[in-house]
């Protein structure tokens, strides 16, 4: 029964590329037309329970089976398998039970994404309070855990992350002495950069206790504790007003039911002449829901927003959209750097956690990269203000003559 159900699903799904599937009894099936311009991948399923799981809940079961080595890939070609799957999903070929499950996730997403303060803190701890050594395995020297800005595909990761921070600082139109709120400050790199290089007075807030410790230690070591303050605080609890607000890679954790609250708080905290820059992963597609494997293992409570639902929330606050920029393949490049760095130190990662964790992390990094390449994810940068004259009329101020980004 489960074999027939999985056969029917794969026949409907694989219309580009090819998948050779070896079943637990040793028989093989081949799906898809093949061809030179799409992956041709061979996969083995080791047991009947995995066959059932893949037939009934493939978007959750695929990652779990890979983690547990109940599904193996010839040559461990995880990039090829996930490219094959995501390219076909992006073309709308999914049918049957899996499509129904996706529709049900869309209908019930408000429950999964309801993120009051206590739940938000627990969600953040699940991912960001992992060992700091893990992030040292793959991040750049400043621990920027968000999309880098590649002026050319050949830029190094460290260079591209510096370019990202400079691009954001340019959009903020900073002047020495300005007050800046950094919502979701991570390990402090953005706040420290804005204080050190632009003379800002920064308050960074995070819900991660591990990130807070590192950020405070970095500020102390850099001699910037008098100009950068980091606090363990939900953004909804921040009081006062700021010249500038920046938030990089945090909006993905807000959840659609809380969009109006989030942007309402941004407006409340922004001075009348102030500027905010929100940097977030987004989707080219209409609003949807989060992949169940990502929700369970990587980012509980997380959600990648569509621009339509994001801007609908902005419009209700009275904020003015002074600039919206879309970054396309930048995160795919970033994730490939992260994957290569992580794989170069995977033995250390196994020693830190275990082999199952390493396979989980590999699946996360590769699936994320392929989603940016083939399944409609991107990055949105929203420049917002209360006064439409808060920034210049054109983007010329962002680029020096001869800059490849101009």
For residue 245, the domain's CATH number is: 3.40.50.150
Using DSSP bridges, classify how beta strands 242-248 and 179-183 pair: parallel, antiparallel or unpaired.
Answer: parallel
Q: Specify the pLDDT at position 405.
A: 52
Q: Specify the pLDDT at position 94.
A: 58
Q: Specify the pLDDT at position 35.
A: 83
Helices (H) and strands (E) in the chain, counts: 17, 11
Same domain (yes/no): 334, 287: yes
Same domain (yes/no): 268, 143: yes
Whether the CB-CB separation of 280 and 262 falls below 8 Å is answered with no
Same domain (yes/no): 327, 192: yes
- Distance (Å, whole) CA 193 – CA 212: 16
Pick from 239-243, 280-284, 300-304: least confident: 300-304
Q: Specify the pLDDT at position 167.
A: 97
Same domain (yes/no): 161, 137: yes
Question: For residue 404, is it within any domain?
Answer: no
Question: For residue 242, is it within any domain?
Answer: yes
Beta strands in 284-376 (DSSP E): 320-327
Q: Specify the pLDDT at position 127.
A: 72
Residue 324 pLDDT greater than 70, yes or no: yes
Tell me the two tokens of residue 203: 């308050």
User: Position of tokens 């590769």?
Assistant: 366
Q: Specify the pLDDT at position 5.
A: 86
Please, how many CA atoms are within 13 Å of residue 167, restricted to the half-sphere of its CB? Answer: 23
- Distance (Å, whole) CA 123 – CA 119: 6
| Contacts of 401 by beta carbon, 8 Å cutoff, 6+ apart | none
pLDDT above 90 as % of the chain: 79
- Distance (Å, whole) CA 327 – CA 325: 7
Same domain (yes/no): 248, 294: yes
Residue 97 pLDDT greater than 60, yes or no: no
Question: For residue 53, is it within any domain?
Answer: yes
Question: For residue 405, is it within any domain?
Answer: no
Burial of 352 per CB tally in 10 Å (0-12, 13-18, 19+): middle
- Distance (Å, whole) CA 370 – CA 347: 24
Same domain (yes/no): 181, 140: yes
The mean per-residue pLDDT over the stretch 281-308 comes to: 92
Q: How far apart are the first and last CA of the chain?
A: 58
Question: For residue 358, is it within any domain?
Answer: yes
Residue 93 pLDDT greater than 60, yes or no: no
The mean per-residue pLDDT over the stretch 32-48 comes to: 93
The mean per-residue pLDDT over the stretch 12-38 comes to: 93
Pick from 25-39, 342-356, 367-381: least confident: 25-39
Same domain (yes/no): 102, 168: no
Same domain (yes/no): 249, 379: yes
Number of compact structural domains in the chain: 2
Q: Specify the pLDDT at position 406.
A: 44
Beta strands in 157-315 (DSSP E): 179-183, 201-206, 228-232, 242-248, 270-283
Same domain (yes/no): 61, 167: no
Q: Specify the pLDDT at position 274.
A: 98
Q: Specify the pLDDT at position 114.
A: 62
Using DSSP bridges, classify how beta strands 71-73 and 40-45 pair: parallel, antiparallel or unpaired.
Answer: antiparallel
Exposure string for 189-223, b = 16+ CB within 10 A, e = fewer:
bbbbbbbbebebbbbbbbbbebbbebbbebbeeee
Same domain (yes/no): 249, 135: yes
Picking from 107, 129, 158, the residue at the C-terminal end of a domain is: 107
Pick from 111-120, 154-163, 190-199: least confident: 111-120
Q: Specify the pLDDT at position 110.
A: 59
- Distance (Å, whole) CA 232 – CA 262: 18
Question: For residue 406, is it within any domain?
Answer: no
- Distance (Å, whole) CA 50 – CA 42: 16
Q: Specify the pLDDT at position 202.
A: 98
Please, how many CA atoms are within 13 Å of residue 187, restricted to the half-sphere of its CB? Answer: 19
Same domain (yes/no): 149, 61: no
- Distance (Å, whole) CA 383 – CA 238: 20
The mean per-residue pLDDT over the stretch 12-19 comes to: 93
Tell me: the pLDDT tens digits for 98-123?
A: 555 555 555 555 556 666 666 666 66
Picking from 50, 77, 107, the residue at the C-terminal end of a domain is: 107
Q: Specify the pLDDT at position 351.
A: 96
Question: For residue 14, is it within any domain?
Answer: yes
Q: Specify the pLDDT at position 119.
A: 62
Q: Specify the pLDDT at position 99.
A: 57
Q: Specify the pLDDT at position 372.
A: 97
User: Position of tokens 């420290």?
Assistant: 192
Find residue 283's DSSP bridge partners.
306, 377
Same domain (yes/no): 95, 128: no
Residue 200 pLDDT greater than 60, yes or no: yes
Whether the CB-CB separation of 114 and 257 falls below 8 Å is answered with yes
Burial of 302 per CB tally in 10 Å (0-12, 13-18, 19+): buried
Whether the CB-CB separation of 62 and 85 falls below 8 Å is answered with yes
Question: For residue 403, is it within any domain?
Answer: no
- Distance (Å, whole) CA 314 – CA 322: 12
CA 68 to chain centre: 24
Picking from 72, 107, 142, the residue at the C-terminal end of a domain is: 107
Q: What is the mean pLDDT of the chain?
A: 91
Which domain does 86 fall in, by range? 2-107
Q: Specify the pLDDT at position 279.
A: 98
Question: Model pTM?
Answer: 0.91
């Amino acid at each position: 029964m489960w074999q027939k159900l999985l056969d029917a699903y794969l026949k409907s799904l694989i219309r580009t590329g090819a998948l050779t599937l070896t079943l637990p009894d040793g028989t093989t099936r081949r799906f898809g037309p093949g061809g030179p311009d799409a992956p041709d991948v061979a996969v083995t399923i080791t047991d009947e329970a995995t066959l059932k799981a893949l037939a009934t809940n493939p978007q959750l079961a695929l990652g779990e089976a890979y983690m547990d080595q109940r599904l193996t890939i010839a040559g461990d070609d995880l990039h090829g398998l996930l490219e094959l799957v995501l390219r076909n999903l992006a073309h709308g070929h999914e049918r049957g039970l899996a499509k129904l499950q996706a529709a049900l996730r869309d209908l019930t997403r408000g429950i999964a994404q309801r993120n009051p303060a206590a739940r938000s803190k627990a969600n953040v701890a699940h991912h960001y309070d992992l060992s700091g050594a893990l992030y040292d395995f793959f991040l750049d020297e400043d621990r920027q855990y968000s999309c880098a800005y590649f002026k050319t595909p050949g830029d190094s990761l460290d260079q591209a992350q510096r370019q990202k921070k400079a691009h954001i600082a340019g959009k903020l139109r900073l002047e020495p002495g300005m007050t800046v709120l950094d919502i979701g400050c991570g390990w402090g790199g953005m706040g420290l950069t804005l204080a050190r290089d632009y003379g800002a007075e920064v308050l960074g807030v995070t819900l991660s206790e591990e990130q807070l410790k590192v950020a405070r230690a970095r500020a102390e070591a850099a001699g910037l504790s008098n100009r950068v303050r980091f606090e363990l605080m939900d953004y909804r609890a921040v009081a006062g007003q700021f010249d500038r607000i920046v938030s990089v890679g945090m909006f993905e954790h807000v959840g659609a039911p809380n969009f109006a609250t989030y942007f309402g708080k941004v407006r409340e905290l922004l001075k009348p002449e102030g500027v905010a820059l929100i940097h977030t992963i987004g989707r080219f597609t209409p609003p949807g829901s989060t992949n169940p494997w990502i929700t369970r293992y990587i980012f509980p409570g997380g959600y990648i927003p569509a621009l339509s639902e994001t801007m609908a929330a902005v419009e209700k606050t009275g904020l003015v959209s002074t600039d919206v920029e879309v970054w396309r393949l930048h995160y795919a490049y970033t994730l490939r750097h992260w994957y290569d760095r992580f794989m170069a130190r995977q033995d250390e990662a196994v020693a830190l956690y275990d082999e199952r964790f390493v396979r989980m992390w590999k699946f996360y990094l590769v699936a994320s990269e392929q989603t940016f390449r083939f399944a409609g994810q991107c990055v949105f940068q929203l420049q917002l203000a209360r006064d439409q004259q808060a920034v210049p009329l054109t983007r010329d101020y962002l680029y020096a003559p001869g800059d490849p980004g101009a």
